[in-house]
Each structure stands twice: as structure tokens, then as C-alpha cells.
């Protein structure tokens, strides 16, 4: 055997290390404490904790007031926690922050009236604990189980689902499952809750197993993540051995092996890995004539931190002054609160939580004192500039808020970056008051970026013009006679109005605006008014559209005939004065004639001596010609003394 490949991420993950440290600290503080079941899935660690005063019990009822119990890293059922608290048992919660997050997601789903679905091993304590935070949880061990549930009842596809994964779930199994749910279900929220450390460990195992002749996986046989590592390795390596310690290794297993791979589950202590590695490395040591200690190997696995680079880590603690981050390096890394966010009022716990993965910028590295100073705020700023530059190349539409009117234009804040928009590109008419745009949300396209000068220029007009062109094409592609639109009055003339029906203007002639007689469009509408219109005719070649407002399905004459008869009194509006009399609107679209002889109870020279246009008067309907649709009206008939005969009351043939 010439080479042993050790996975860098082998061994304790953050959650397991935290649980063990909490148990040891609690035992030291209380002169002994309890754990419910195995704190982690590793017999060696559990035995070591017992020697340090962390006793084990499987029965929560055996604990009483004054006892202290450390909750295992996989979490516990909610009912057990509630019962312990009610009986006065002090609980030190060592549940992995990633597991706590899933518990919260499940509880939130319950509160929102959604059903929680967990992809993972139904018998695993983590899954059992998570499932207890809601009623009627669904637990699927893979895509086949998902498919069986969906096919069991058609209505299952309509159930609102919140989907999460066991932290140690195999990624391929989870992704296959959620893709089926996303495709089949109408209302599903998917949360990728696989632990980042688990994903890295599995990815490294895939890479090493593909190169190795023999693969060794170290970990407790009860450990789910160790079992999954073994399954993953078996898909890529012909010989895979899962062991709990070095004493299970046999020289026979490595016969004919040139390259051996070694990885370990999240609950495997460094000491056991070191021992296994040493046993596997005996032949390579002899061949190369040198020893490489496990500590040296671990040191090689540490990241090298350089000022100005990006680095990803896991939030391990939030103190009153800083956020501590594990970046996989020798140095302790932290973020000052002032470097966490641009928002001075933001609280650290609202931005990050323990267990979160966070990408940061390395501000300073002090190898002498062993720490690295990080900044999330600066990285966010760098990302924004990168996104702005990408937006220029890809002509992406961005959204921002107008913050001020500037000389020659306005300033728009896009994710904290000031974008200058010239007045000509503001989308407003020449000479418009741009201050009215302040505080408005706008869409724009970035046209110029100079990061060195921190100058960004954008155009709102480019977006609005493009949207208008698209809307115009949509209108012309689907326009037809009789089609109705909700439009807006754009401009007015003496002969009608122009209405915007979605990027295209159509003309409504004054005669189509109302059944009533009107002299100007201003009598019935104004610029900016909404208007329901329909297409009378259009010429796609000349890009002209004739619109109507009047409902031609309504017959004004029939409305009149249904409402009035000869002898009825009506209140009418004078619409036109002639030498021979006055025309009055009885109902919209139907006028009647008041002959000059019927205007007053005396002889008059002209109608305007008594009447004026738009005046409202009461009249008596004296004659109706249904065939010619003409009406005779009389004011005089209402003025004649009782019993006095009415003269010249019927005048139907007078034309306007």
C-alpha cells in the first residue's frame, strides 16, 4: 500500500463537538449530571463521558427536581422536554443548532396550517424528535415512499407541505424526493436542511472513494451519518470496510492495495481516527522511511487565511460584542458587530444564528496572536458591485428606491449602491418635477459602471420603453372588433379623446362618448380618468384604432318607451335652442321638441327669451311618433289653468 488518503472533514462536526463540550462542562459544574440515552452515537465517547460524571439513563421519569440532564445532539421529543421542565429537571440543551432549526421549521408549519414532511430515517432519534414538534407529520425514507403517499390519495397533492431533511440525509436521496414533491404538489415549501458539514463529508467521501482501492469508514454502527458514508463509498469503491476502531483492521483487507481512503462519521473522536490512520499507514511509513503524525496531517488540512480573500465558515457563538466563526483554520475567527451589516439598527441575532453557514471577507490575519478578523458587510458590498457589473453585461432589470433629486436627474438606491439616472432617462416628460419621484420604487437598467470612481448610471426609460413596446405588440397581436379594454384617458381634443389601452392609444369620437348631447369631451371626462372602451374598428397597417364607450346593446328609445307615455310629466334638460323651439333631453340619447308656441303661456319672439341651454324644466309629453321616434313636449300645458283647453299641443313634424 503506497498511500492513505484522509478526508479533511473526518471526525467531530460542530454540533457533536458542542454537545460533548457542554456535557463535560455541565458535569464539572454540577459534580455529575445525566444524559438521556447516548449523547452522541459513539460508544467510546459515551464511556469516556461516564468516567467524567455524565451518567446515562433511558427513562426520563427516573429524573426529578434538582437533577440536571444534557439533551443529546440529535434532540429529544417535545413531550419529553415539556415533562422534564414541568417536574423541575434542569435541561442543558446540547441539541445541534441545525436540528433545532428543523424543529422550528416543523413547528412553524404547524402554526401556518401546513403539514410537515421529513425526508430521513423514520427510526432515527433525530427524526423522531423533530416529528414530535407537530401533529400528523409525514416521514419518508426516500422517493419510493413519497410516490406511494402521493398515489394513495389524489387529494394529497393539494395538501400544503413544508418539506425538510434529516441533517445527515444522503443528498441524492433528498433531492430526488423533493423534486417529485415539487412537481406533483400544488403548494410545497422545500427547505434544504442537510448539515453543511455532512454534505462536505459526503462529497469528500465520494471523491476519495473514486480514487481508492480500499475505503475505510470509521464510526459507531448506530450512527446514521456513518452508515450513509459507507453506502456512498460502496457505490464508488470495490472494497469498503466500516469499523468502530483500529482493532477491527486486518492486513488481509489491504492485499494488492495501492491507494487506501479513510473517512469518519461526525461522532468519531480524533483519537480513534488517529489510531486507525496510524495502523493503515505502517506500510507507507516503511516504504517512504518517514513518519507523518496525525497532528501534522490535521495541520495540513487547515485552511490558509489571507487578507482580502473570501472565506466560508459556521457561526459557533454570538457574544455581546462579536460573532465567532469556525472557518476551518488554526486561527480563531470573529466578526465585529459593526462589520456584520450596513443597518446600524440591525440586531446580530436577526442576521445570523449559531449553526448558520456564513460567507465573509478576511479583513486581517494575526498569526502571532492566532486570530482572524472578518467582515460580512464588506463582502456584501463587493457582491453588490459584482451583481451591478453582471447586470450591465446581462442587461438585467434591477429595482430600487428614488432617494433624491439631483442636478440633471435623480438618484436611485439599488441594494445600497447610488445609481444616477439622468432626467432624460427618468421616463418623465421634459421639464417634469422630478422631486415627485422621491421615495418611489422604480425599475431600471444599469448602463454604465465605474467601480474605481464608484459611479453607476442607469435608465428607467429603457425599461418603460421596452415594457411599452412589449405591451403594444401584445395589443396588436390580440386586438379584434368588439374586444373590451380598461383604458386611461391620455389626451383630449374638440372632436374626441385618446385612450391608452395598454401601450397603444385609440380614438373615441365625441359622438361615441355619451348617449347625451355634449359639446366637448370635457363634459364627461378628463385626462387621467379610467375608461371602459371597446373596439369599433382598427387598421393594423396604419396603427389606428377607433374605440367606443356607448353601449349599443342599450336602445335609448326603448328605455324612453318603457318609462313614459303621452300625458306623462317629465323633467328634461334643454340641449339646443332653435328659432322654432327648443330641443330637450328626456332620457340620454332621446330628445323631444318644445315648440315655441308651447314654451310659455304667452306669445314670445324667440325661445331664449324664456329658456337657456342646460336648464332643467318640467314638461308634459303631448305626442309620440313611434315610427319616426319623435316626441312633442309642452311647458305651456303645465301652465294652463284647470279646465282651459290646450292649443297647438301636437307638433311632431318640425325638424331641427
**Residues known to be catalytic:** 126
User: Helices marked H in 120-195 — which ranges?
Assistant: 125-131, 143-152, 171-184
Q: How far apart are CA 156 and CA 117, in angstroms?
A: 12
Residue 601: which residues within 8 A CB-CB, separation 6 or more? 636, 639, 640
Strand 505-509 relative to strand 259-264, pairing:
unpaired
User: What DSSP string describes 304-354?
Assistant: PP-TT-EEEEEEEEE-SSEEEEE-SBSSEEEEEGGGT-S-TT--HHHH--T
Question: Given the C-alpha cell 393539494, which residue does it identify?
Answer: 158
Characterize 336-349 residue by residue with b for buried, 16 or more Cβ atoms within 10 angstroms of its Cβ, and e for exposed: ebebbbeeeeeebe
Q: Position of cell 432589470?
A: 397
Cell of 611: 329658456
Residue 201 buriedness (CB in 10 A; 0-12 / 13-18 / 19+):
buried
DSSP lists the bridge partners of residue 36 as: 57
| Residue located via cell numbers 486507525 | 276
Q: Which residue has the cell 478576511?
A: 362
DSSP letter for each residue of 17-70 = HHHHHHHHHHHHHHTSEEEES-SSS-HHHHHHHHHTTEEEES-GGG--TT-EEE
* Integer Cα distance of 337 and 23 in angstroms: 29
d(C-alpha 546, C-alpha 498), whole Å: 10
Integer-rounded Cα Rg, in Å, for the chain is 42
Q: Would strands 357-366 and 332-336 be described as parallel, antiparallel, or unpaired?
A: unpaired
CA torsion through residues 173, 175, 180, 186, sign:
positive
* Four-CA torsion 19, 22, 27, 33, nearest 10 degrees: -60
546 in helix, strand or coil? strand
Q: Are strands 455-459 and 630-634 parallel, antiparallel or unpaired?
A: unpaired
Q: How far apart are CA 109 and CA 491, in angstroms?
A: 52
Using CB atoms within 10 Å of the CB of residue 368, give its burial: 0 to 12 exposed, 13 to 18 middle, 19+ buried.
Answer: exposed
Distance, CA of 308 to CA of 379 (rounded, Å): 10
Amino acid at each position: 500500500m503506497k498511500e492513505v488518503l484522509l478526508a479533511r472533514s473526518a471526525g467531530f462536526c460542530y454540533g457533536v463537538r458542542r454537545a460533548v463540550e457542554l456535557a463535560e462542562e455541565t458535569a464539572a459544574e454540577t459534580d455529575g449530571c445525566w444524559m438521556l440515552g447516548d449523547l452522541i452515537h459513539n460508544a467510546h465517547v459515551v464511556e469516556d463521558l461516564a468516567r467524567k460524571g455524565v451518567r446515562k439513563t433511558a427513562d426520563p421519569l427516573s429524573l426529578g427536581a434538582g437533577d440536571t440532564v444534557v439533551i443529546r445532539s440529535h434532540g429529544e421529543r417535545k413531550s419529553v422536554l415539556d415533562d422534564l421542565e414541568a417536574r423541575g429537571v434542569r435541561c442543558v440543551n446540547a441539541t445541534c443548532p441545525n436540528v433545532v432549526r428543523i424543529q422550528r421549521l416543523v413547528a412553524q408549519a404547524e402554526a401556518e396550517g401546513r403539514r410537515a414532511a421529513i425526508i430521513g430515517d423514520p427510526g432515527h432519534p433525530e427524526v423522531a424528535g423533530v416529528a414530535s414538534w407537530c401533529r400528523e407529520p409525514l416521514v419518508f425514507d426516500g422517493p419510493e415512499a413519497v410516490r406511494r403517499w402521493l398515489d394513495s390519495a389524489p387529494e394529497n397533492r393539494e395538501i400544503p407541505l413544508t418539506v425538510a431533511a434529516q441533517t445527515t440525509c444522503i443528498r441524492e436521496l433528498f433531492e430526488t424526493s423533493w423534486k417529485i414533491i415539487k412537481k406533483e404538489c400544488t403548494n410545497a415549501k422545500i427547505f434544504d436542511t442537510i448539515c453543511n458539514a455532512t454534505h462536505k463529508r459526503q462529497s469528500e467521501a465520494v471523491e476519495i472513494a473514486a480514487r481508492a482501492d480500499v475505503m475505510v469508514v470509521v464510526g459507531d454502527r448506530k450512527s446514521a451519518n456513518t452508515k450513509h458514508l459507507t453506502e456512498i463509498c460502496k457505490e464508488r469503491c470495490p472494497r469498503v470496510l466500516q469499523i468502530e476502531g483500529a482493532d477491527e483492521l486486518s492486513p488481509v483487507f489491504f492485499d494488492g492495495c495501492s491507494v487506501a481512503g479513510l473517512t469518519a462519521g461526525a461522532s468519531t473522536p480524533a483519537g480513534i481516527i488517529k489510531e486507525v490512520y496510524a495502523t493503515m499507514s505502517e506500510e507507507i511509513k516503511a516504504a517512504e522511511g518517514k513518519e507523518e503524525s496525525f497532528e501534522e496531517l490535521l495541520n495540513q488540512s487547515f485552511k490558509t487565511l489571507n487578507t482580502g480573500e473570501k472565506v466560508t465558515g459556521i457561526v459557533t457563538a454570538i457574544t455581546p460584542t462579536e460573532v465567532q466563526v469556525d472557518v476551518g483554520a488554526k486561527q480563531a475567527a470573529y466578526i465585529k458587530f459593526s462589520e456584520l451589516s450596513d443597518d446600524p439598527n440591525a440586531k446580530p441575532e436577526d442576521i445570523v444564528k449559531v449553526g448558520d453557514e456564513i460567507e465573509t471577507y478576511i479583513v486581517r490575519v494575526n498569526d502571532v496572536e492566532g486570530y482572524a478578523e472578518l467582515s460580512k458587510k464588506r463582502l456584501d458590498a463587493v457582491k453588490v458591485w459584482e451583481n451591478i457589473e453582471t447586470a450591465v453585461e446581462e442587461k438585467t432589470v434591477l429595482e430600487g428606491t428614488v432617494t433624491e433629486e439631483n442636478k440633471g436627474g435623480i438618484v436611485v438606491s439599488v441594494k445600497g449602491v447610488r445609481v444616477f439616472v439622468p432626467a432624460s432617462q427618468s421616463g418623465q416628460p421634459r421639464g417634469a418635477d422630478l422631486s415627485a419621484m422621491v421615495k418611489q420604487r422604480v425599475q431600471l437598467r444599469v448602463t454604465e459602471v465605474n467601480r474605481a470612481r464608484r459611479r453607476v448610471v442607469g435608465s428607467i426609460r429603457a425599461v418603460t420603453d421596452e415594457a411599452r413596446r412589449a405591451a403594444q405588440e401584445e395589443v396588436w397581436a390580440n386586438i379584434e372588433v368588439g374586444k373590451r379594454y380598461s383604458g386611461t384617458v391620455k389626451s383630449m381634443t374638440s372632436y374626441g379623446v385618446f385612450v391608452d389601452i395598454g401601450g397603444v392609444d385609440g380614438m373615441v369620437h365625441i359622438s361615441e362618448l355619451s348617449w347625451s348631447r355634449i359639446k366637448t369631451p370635457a363634459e364627461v371626462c378628463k385626462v387621467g380618468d379610467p375608461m371602459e372602451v371597446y373596439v369599433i374598428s382598427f387598421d393594423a397597417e396604419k396603427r389606428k384604432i377607433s374605440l367606443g364607450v356607448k353601449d349599443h346593446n342599450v336602445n335609448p328609445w326603448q328605455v324612453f318607451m318603457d318609462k313614459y307615455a303621452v300625458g306623462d310629466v317629465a323633467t328634461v334638460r334643454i340641449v339646443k335652442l332653435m328659432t322654432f323651439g327648443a330641443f330637450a333631453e328626456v332620457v340620454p340619447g332621446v330628445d323631444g321638441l318644445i315648440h315655441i308656441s308651447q314654451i310659455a303661456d304667452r306669445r314670445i319672439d324667440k325661445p331664449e327669451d324664456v329658456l337657456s341651454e342646460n336648464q332643467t324644466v318640467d314638461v308634459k309629453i303631448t305626442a309620440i311618433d313611434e315610427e319616426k321616434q319623435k316626441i312633442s313636449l309642452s311647458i305651456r300645458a303645465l301652465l294652463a289653468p284647470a279646465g282651459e283647453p290646450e292649443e297647438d299641443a301636437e307638433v311632431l313634424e318640425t325638424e331641427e
